[in-house]
Structure 1
Amino acid sequence: MSSKSPAGGEQWASRIGVILAVAGSAVGLGNFLRFPGQAAQHGGGAFMIPYFISLLVLGIPLCWAEWTMGRYGGLNGFNSAPGIYSTLWKSRWARYFGAIALVVPLVIYMYYVVIEAWCLGYAIQYLTGSLMKEGSNAEVFQTHFDEFVGADANGALFQSRRLGFLVILAGTFIANFVLIYRGVSKGIETFCRVAMPAMAVLAFIVLIRVLTLGTPDPSKPDQSVLGGLGFMWNPDFSHLSDPQMWLAAAGQIFFTLSVGFGIVINYASYLKRKDDVVLSGVTACSVNEFFEVCFGGLITLPAAFIFLGAAAGSQGTFDLGFKALPNVFAQMPGGRIIGFLWFIVLFIAAITSSISMLQPVIAFFEEGFGLKRHASAAMLGLVSALGCGFVLYFSEGMVALDTLDFWVGSVLIIMLALIQAIIYGWCFGIERGAEEAHVGAHMRIPHFVQLMLKYVVPVYLITIFAMFCWNNVPSQDIDVATLDANVVAGLQEGELGTTLLATLAAHDIEAPAGSKLVSDGSDWRIVDADDALLIKLSGGEDGVALQRHKAGYYENIVNNPVALASVLFIAIILAFLLLLVHIAGRRWETEGRLTYP
């Protein structure tokens, strides 16, 4: 029999508080940096078609499911995923799937707090004016970022001349744990009630400045505010046939709403019986969409386009946020102030997300082993500090960070969302789910949404996961052109000759510095300075096939010791949490908190 109050003695103080906390967990760097970059690379306004389809088919239904499951689990004595899953699916196996809902937020926090410190560090540099003195050369900002984050060498951040960043990181790390130590209501809710409105006000100030830039350079009339908005939003419907676009849109929804992170289900477990999960879920989704579409979509890329032109659309998340935009602020009137406000916005967005990643594991330590909050925070602090140190040390090329982000921040998130859809739709049942969701609700979930959760969402997620793996895990050789057979005549191993370089340039291929030509039997390969394969030249009777090699994640891991170590690190953390879940589950069974048919 469920109680009327959540487990653990903690609960949200107000409805607006929990909505802002859930919205804060979802509003992060993905809204301000990842979303505009994805839209620009996948057809601009056309990207919004699969984006909103994914929102309606995946995002909102899964949010409702997570809110419902979380509140049900909290009223039945559990705040963490292993316990909540066990109340929904009366099986001993359920709690082990809950370990994934712990490893996802924990590992993401280990590298997310580092990015959070980047944002604070850049804000401080704008406040002091040190970053504005770097000049307006794009290469200067590239070098500055690489040195600031230690991308030039492993262990670089532990050099004495870079201790300033470690101090910033330590302060950021401590601030997160001070907030989480204060609890759900006094810590997370109180902070988000202040931070979310503050972030909206600051983002609005930056937005107004961007929209009033006009045409800064009269010699480039196309690079204007209207041109930037058009570059971001004008649809290119030819992209709709590209499966990668649909994958990108679905993936963005996961980041936008924190679906599959194991966070919403934990936050919802602190709701009371009569709290409205249906309306609260829709409201939280709406707040997230407002920040992403209205702020992320109108600030980041339009500002970059005004000063950098169409090249801004090809920037990755970090390139856009930490290299391109500082270059923009250096050329913008009042750029020092806007740069400071911008990175403060990113820092607030990051910290509201990062504290939410700690709470699910804190809750598990408390209810799984009877630990007090200070002991749980200390244990989690030790584990997360070790992981953070791993990311800091292996900073060269950000290989460790990227590997953790791919396997946890992409693959495991999709798997966890699939697990939760199956538990809700097939184990708990959509009839019970609808009945539970509508307790205290002021609006009803349409029945077809429940049917979607049971049938459509799992199929959609399996399809996305299969396509995601197909496009990213194996390596691919992409045909570029067929060349005359005489192209390979007279080739020699070593540096690339001028004729070969001209041939590559004619097909929009630029070989990086240090590239060389090596023989592969009757064929030839172009490799970079680290001997990674870039281009294949395969001879035949009909000519020479010019192929661009795209290394998949499997190849990258096998050939990179740091990437392999990162995957092993994830496996160790998961194994550790599975062991703890097993011990906690046996304890719950002994106490009679879990029973099975």
Structure 2
Amino acid sequence: MEQRDQWATKIGLILAMAGNAVGLGNFVRFPTQVAQNGGGAFMVPYFIALFFLGIPVMWIEWVAGRYGGKYGHGTLGPTYYLMARESLKPRSAFWWGVISGMLAFSLTVLLNSYYLHLIGWSAAYSWFSITGAYFGKNTGDFFSNYLNNHGEVMLFWGITVILLAIAVGQGVSKGIERWVKVMMPLLYIFAIIMVGYVFVLGSPIDPNWSTIDGFKFIWSPNWSYLGKHFYTVLLAATGQIFFTLSLGMGIIQNYASYLGPDDDVALSGLATVSLNEFAEVVLGGSLAVPLATAYAPKIVPPDVLSQGKSAALSWIGAKFGLGFSYTSLPNVFVSMGSAGKFFGALWFLLLWFAGFTSAIAMYNYLTALLEEDLGIKRKVGTWVVFLIYLIAGLPVIYISGYMDQVDAWVSFQLTLLALFDIIIAVYLFKPDNFWEELHKGAYMSVPGWYKPIILYIAPILLLIPLIGSAKSLIGATLEWPARLAIISMWIVGAIESYYSIKKKYREELEKNEVIIKV
């Protein structure tokens, strides 16, 4: 078997995995979910979902990735075929692998069709901030004009994706690892500088409005709100855990496949979760909401402000979302005067770094797929992926509503693939095999009481976002461009996965018995 690239250092692996998890979801989606789900009411189910769902599925994906790596696989189709055949005959296991690989491929392409544009927006706004391009202008109109300037949008998209291609083309240890060793520490430094500024900001506009009000909103448990909206908040919290940890995509398995067969996954997986949660809860939670609250008099309409803090915070919560960072927060930076150019550039550069370190993992998944399954050299494969992303991303620019429709399906497929993680990598692989693999070379012993959490509680909690996503899709109208994109990616992903498994395991599929065993 040809020797695959491996991580050169343990810290490089941890930073890469953390970079994979730390993304726009930490600094944009998390504050949005908090603001729109009762502030402190959101944090209670969030930590429950993290402990009972996020950590177990993270361990499952690390184990699956390292196991596939022993056989030379960094993609989900062949890996889940191998794990499923522990309980099933090869021909039955084959279809579990095909469907898993199909979901992972379609997810990666569909998600990046718009995610890479969001990263490009952040790069653009970092430039617009430092140059003061939106200062003295209506920030809502400025954002609309930017989105309608397709050449400018493609410029910043292109800069981002070309840099991704260069990084991934250099390989795992000499490319991805080196890039994240620089970008991840800088990301944390940028975030800490921003948080430090927020903590000393106080009440810059009105003594009745301070960052403390924002912190109180986030960290004061709102039991009344939680009681009235329990299922909605729990659905949002479990969904956020999946997005923030990058679960159900196949990319954690891909990174873990570059481990040695006895490298630790138990402590490494927990370290990845910890770094991500520090970035999200401590840093991400200390930025957008407190900052917006302190500058509420500048961004909240006067008629809402006159109704008091509760009404103003509700308005901020309702308006929070992706566009908030590009329409309302620039007003905050403008209100800071000359310092606003620096902090605005720092905020959007932070978003760009966070998005880039997540996108590099997804870029590598598709590159590994081309390299391992189709025999395309890595440096060539990276530019093939560039073309795939270019084609997949064009509808995001030119078709109104396309991004939202595709995003709804991505949310559903994320949780569906995570369910496959548990079914295949735990139950079909056999729970005792999974537990043994989790502890192979481990630097820590996972308590025995966590085993029933993985076996029973995690899948039950997983059904909450899965059912919630399915409900949101029922009755939703998919326009033909989104429908065509989704079905096309399913077909291509299924064909690729079918071919990749057949290519190496044709003989044992014909005989319907296991032949290749490492």
Identify whether the pair has TM-score above 0.5, normalized to the shorter chain. yes
- Sort the Cα spacing of 1:143 and 1:585 in 2 relative to 1 into closer, same or farther, 3 A: same
Q: Which moved more, 1:306-315 or 1:265-274?
A: 306-315
CA distance in 1, matches of 2:465, 2:191: 33
| Partner residue of 2:323 out of 298, 301, 319 | 319
Task: With a CA cutoff of 8 Å and minimum separation of 6, indicate the structure with the bigger relative contact order.
Answer: 2
Compute the displacement of 1:592 (Å). Answer: 6.6
CA distance in 2, matches of 1:317, 1:462: 25
Change (3 A) 1:596 1:148: farther
Preserved CA contact (<8 Å) 1:366 1:372: yes
Q: Does 1:573 align with 2:510?
A: no
Which of 301, 314, 318 aligns to 2:289? It is 301
2:133 corresponds to: 130
Q: Which range moves more in the overlay, 304-313 or 566-575? A: 304-313
- 1:21 alignment partner AA: A
Q: How does 1:319-468 map to 2 (within 5 A)?
A: 319-333=323-337, 334-394=339-399, 396=400, 399-408=401-410, 410-468=411-469
Counterpart CA distance in 1 for 2:3 and 2:108 is: 20
- 1:147 matched to 2:145? The reply is yes
Q: Distance in 2 between matches of 1:37 and 1:265?
A: 28
Residue equivalent to 2:194? 206
Letter in 2 for 1:323: T
CA distance in 2, matches of 1:319, 1:304: 14
Q: Which residue of the other structure, out of 56, 77, 85, is the alignment partner of 2:80?
A: 85
Structure 1 CA distance for aligned equivalents of residues 476 and 182 of structure 2: 46
CA–CA distance in structure 2, aligned partners of residues 28 and 223 of structure 1: 29
Instruction: Tell me which amino acid in the other structure corresponds to 2:405.
Output: T
Question: 1:132 aligns to what SS in structure 2?
Answer: coil
In 2, are the aligned partners of 1:43 and 1:237 still within 8 Å (CA)? no
Aligned partner of 1:230: which letter?
Answer: K
The answer to whether the Cα contact below 8 Å between 1:33 and 1:317 also exists between their aligned partners in 2 is yes
Q: 1:48/1:359 Cα in 2 relative to 1: closer, same or farther (>3 Å)?
A: same
Q: 1:16 to 1:593 in 2, by over 3 A?
A: farther
Rounded to whole Å, the distance in 2 between the matches of 1:45 and 1:299 is 15
Question: Which amino acid in 2 is paired with 1:262?
Answer: G
Superposed displacement of residue 279, structure 1: 0.4
SS at match of 1:212: helix
Name the CA distance, whole Å, in 1 between partners of 2:289 and 2:440: 43
Work out the CA distance in 1 between the residues paired with 2:9 and 2:386: 28
- For the residues of structure 2 that align with 1:572 and 1:582, how far apart are their CA atoms? 15
Read off the aligned partner of 1:247 and give its amino acid letter: L
Partner Cα distance (1:107, 1:467) in 2: 20
Q: TM-score, normalised by structure 1?
A: 0.78
Q: Larger Cα Rg: Structure 1 or Structure 2?
A: 1
Aligned residue in 2 for 1:477: none
Give the residue type in structure 1 aligned to 2:435: A
Whichever structure has more strand as a proportion of its residues is 1
1:93, distance to aligned residue in structure 2 (A): 1.0
Partner of 2:112: 109
Residues 444-494 of structure 1, C-alpha deviations (whole Å, 9 max, x = no match): 122332222222222222243223333x234xxxxxxxxxxxxxxxxxxxx
Contact 1:116 1:172 in 2 (8 A): yes
On the 8 A contact 1:108/1:357 being kept in 2, the answer is no
Answering whether residue 31 of structure 2 is matched by residue 36 of structure 1, we say: yes
| Paired letter, 1:31 | N
Matched, 1:64 2:51: no
Q: Read off the aligned partner of 2:382 and give its amino acid letter.
A: A
Could you tell me how far 1:328 is from its partner in structure 2?
0.8
Q: Is the 8 A contact 1:368 1:588 kept in 2?
A: no
Query: Runs ≥4 in structure 1, deviation > 6 angstroms?
Result: 591-595
Cα offset for 1:379? 2.5
- TM-score where L is the length of structure 2: 0.90
Name the stretch that deviates more: 83-92 or 306-315.
Answer: 306-315
Cα deviation per residue 1:263-320 (whole Å; 9 max; x = unaligned)? 1011000001231100000000000000001111001110011112523222232132
Q: In the alignment, which residue of structure 2 is the partner of 1:519?
A: none
Alignment map for 1:179-218 (pairs within 5 Å): 179-217=167-205
**Match in the other structure for 2:102:** 99
**Structure 1 residue 441: Cα displacement:** 0.7
Displacement, 1:102? 1.8
In 1, the alpha carbon distance for the partners of 2:509 and 2:277 equals 39
Query: Hey, what's the Cα distance between the residues in 2 that align with 1:592 and 1:376?
Result: 29
TM superposition shift of 1:590: 3.7
Partner of 1:564: 480
- Provide, for residues 377-419 of structure 1, a one-character-per-residue CA deviation record: whole Å limited to 9, x for no partner: 232222221101121221x3xx1111111101x1000000001
1:251 aligns with 2:239: yes
Q: Distance in 1 between matches of 2:8 and 2:508?
A: 30
Note if contact 2:396-2:402 (Cα within 8 Å) is conserved in structure 1: yes
The separation in 2 between residues aligned to 1:404 and 1:555, in whole angstroms, is 12
Please give the secondary structure, in 2, of the residue aligned with 1:446: coil
Aligned equivalents of 2:327, 2:225: Cα separation in 1:
27
Paired residue type of 1:317: G
Q: What stretches of structure 1 of length at least 5 have no aligned partner?
A: 135-139, 151-156, 475-553, 558-562
Q: Find the aligned partners of 2:203 and 2:463 in 1 and give their Cα distance.
A: 46
1:292–1:263 Cα change, 3 Å: same
What percent of counterpart residues are identical? 35
Q: Which residue pairs with 2:470 in the alignment? A: 469
> 2:192 aligned with 1:234, yes or no?
no
Q: May I ask how many residue pairs the two structures share in their alignment?
A: 486
1:8/1:367 contact within 8 Å kept: no
* Superposed displacement of residue 51, structure 1: 0.3
Q: Deviations over 1:139-192 (max 9, x none)?
A: x21111122123xxxxxx44xxxx233222211121111111111111111111
* 1:589 equivalent in alignment to 2:477: no
Q: Given residue 458 of structure 1, which amino acid in structure 2 is its aligned partner?
A: P
User: Does structure 2 retain, via aligned residues, the 8 Å contact 1:43–1:238?
Assistant: no
The answer to whether the Cα contact below 8 Å between 1:304 and 1:325 also exists between their aligned partners in 2 is yes
